[in-house]
Amino acid sequence: MAITSKESFLRVYSKAVNEGYAAIFAGAGLSMSSGYVDWKTLLKPFAKDLELNIDEEHDLARLAQYYRNEKGTRASINQEIVNQFSEHKNLNENINIVTRLPIYTYWTTNYDKLIEKGLEKNNRLADVKINQDQLNFHKRDRDAIVYKMHGDVDFPKDAVLTKQDYEIYNLKRPLFTTVLQGDLVAKTFLFIGFSFEDPNLDNILSRTRNILEEQIGENYWLEKQIEEPDYTNLKPDEKELAKERYRIDCIKQNLKINELQRYGINTVLIKSYYEITEILTELENVYLKNNVFISGSIEEYNDIWTNDKVKDFGYKLSKKLVQLNYKVYSGFGLGIGSNIINGALDEIYTTKYRHIDEHLVLRPFPQEINQGEILSEKWTRYREEIIKDVGIAIFIFGNKKDQDGNTQIANGMIEEFEIAKRMNKIIIPIGSTGNAAKVVFDEVKQNIAQYPYLKDQLEVLETNTNENELVDAIQKIIKSI
């Protein structure tokens, strides 16, 4: 069987996310936990009107066509689409995650607007394509494209549902087919909430494979493994019937998995649909671990950490992180920020094909506020926005001077530590640099069971003041995660 492990999926797909060629294909299952219906439930009242049992019907497009034929119009079908999908539903966690990730391409057969709303919630501008005329236009500054290949609740008469709709799909929407074929060639897809019963997608996958033959790429499908029923309270004949049904269901699932492999789609089997959220969360964490926030500031130097040595440490640290293909986030901390930027930029500019925005993100803190705003509250929100986008937070130095010239612990760094801790980020405090970083280190050391990745380098982080050895220790910690 063409089953792949969760670990293999995370490794390959997270790389696709990082490098910008990941795509999502969302089916009805992605929206069901928000309260929307699947295809079968949508058609259940139609089957009842036709005096048919929906559970015995497997060609749902044909069923919808029968209903359309009997009524002589699709007005009832259009109204049912509006009834079922126009009601407001809350976003579910799976949609939150897939729209938070920097994925540019989303395909869906769903009529609802959850993907668009998820992108909006995560401050990402969606360019939504519902009909093929929209493919000619590009929304400025878009962060993602959403292809609604079967239509949208706002245009129910154009929604793809009946057998006839599928028959004329390539006459009315041929460019959708062409674009999807191109994406299937160029991108790595994750099919989620999808049953692969859709005849239109089946046709597109077949045509794509026929063009590429054995060169089709790797894609992934999350599917629940057939669960063996509980036979405890069943009568002997019922038990035998249940066993036979389970055997047949397992065979059918295995055959389907092998068939999808023919189209380059690898199956990740899960035991429960709740596991999808766990996998997506892990995927997001793997992605975020490529983003490193350096929290630090310094205004008072000493004999150990001189001005030149501090500059050298910040420079070497950011340079090494970029060299290892991490993206460095900096809030442009006092006495630290410029050195971090210089180290990152030097590595970017001396290496071919690197781009600044792929390896360096600058988020200088706002210094002015609008009337009615409180600066400290604005800074807190700003810190939260920075830290939510990273997986690792490194803490170095952390002092400042008050209005009287007295040296103080940088309380902003302590707040950044609390935020990072609350968001379950990887925390690496360089205690030997002193000040706020030492405060963070002491708390981490007291609760080292929560930070097992630091154990092997704990002494180095606490006592070593050699900048080269500290950079090496940080590198070892990050690589061990």
Q: Among positive and negative, which fits the CA dihedral 423, 425, 431, 436?
A: negative
Long-range interactions of 100-104: CB distance < 8 A, separation 24+ = 100/284, 101/17, 101/22, 101/283, 101/284, 101/287, 102/17, 102/20, 102/287, 103/17, 103/22, 103/23, 103/24, 103/144, 104/20, 104/22, 104/23, 104/143, 104/144, 104/145
Q: Helices marked H in 173-261 — which ranges?
A: 174-186, 199-212, 236-261
CB within 8 A of 213, min separation 6: which ones? none
- Catalytic residue chosen out of the listed positions 88, 138, 150, 355: 150
SS3 217: coil
Q: State both tokens at 255.
A: 């055959």
SS3 291: strand
- Say how far apart CA 362 and CA 104 lie, in whole Å: 22
Q: Which residue do the tokens 């990887």 mark?
A: 426
114 forms beta bridges with: none
H-run or E-run covering 220: strand 219-224
Q: What is the DSSP string of 313-335?
A: HHHHHHHHHHHTTPEEEE---TT
SS3 191: strand
Give the type of residue at 247. Answer: R
150 tagged catalytic: yes
Q: State both tokens at 401.
A: 């001077």
223 forms beta bridges with: 269
Catalytically active residues are 150
